[in-house]
Structure 1
Amino acid sequence: MQRNDGLTPEESKIMDNLANAWNMFLKLEQTHPSEQDDFSDGIHKCQQVLMNRILRRDYPKGYPTYRK
């Protein structure tokens, strides 16, 4: 199935793995009141990095790519 979200195939795999990591984490016994929020924040930060890649590809004038 082809996605229509702007991600490359490689990025799509990463995004799917992030979703899988979240789903797997939810199955664990909670050992601290804030761990789910903390884990969710980390997942969202990673997803934001992937979304920024789409912006840089689609709108390079506003969101330039910087290379080392």
Structure 2
Amino acid sequence: MAPQNKEQLDQKKHERKAQIMRAAIKVFAENGIKLTKISMIAKEAKVSHGSSIITLLLKMRYCMQV
């Protein structure tokens, strides 16, 4: 596999964040915010637990500012 350029890496990063956000919305809708665990979102998004935590915290911070 050839190395990816910066644009490809940025696109992949953006897609991963969007994937996690879609999973979070789905899991929150199914379970409510209080009962939702980060591990549930990670499983739904098919990403590692650490990856989902970072993205989710960034998005939560953004939502609180709106």
Place the TM-score, normalised by the shorter chain, in its bin.
0.3 to 0.5
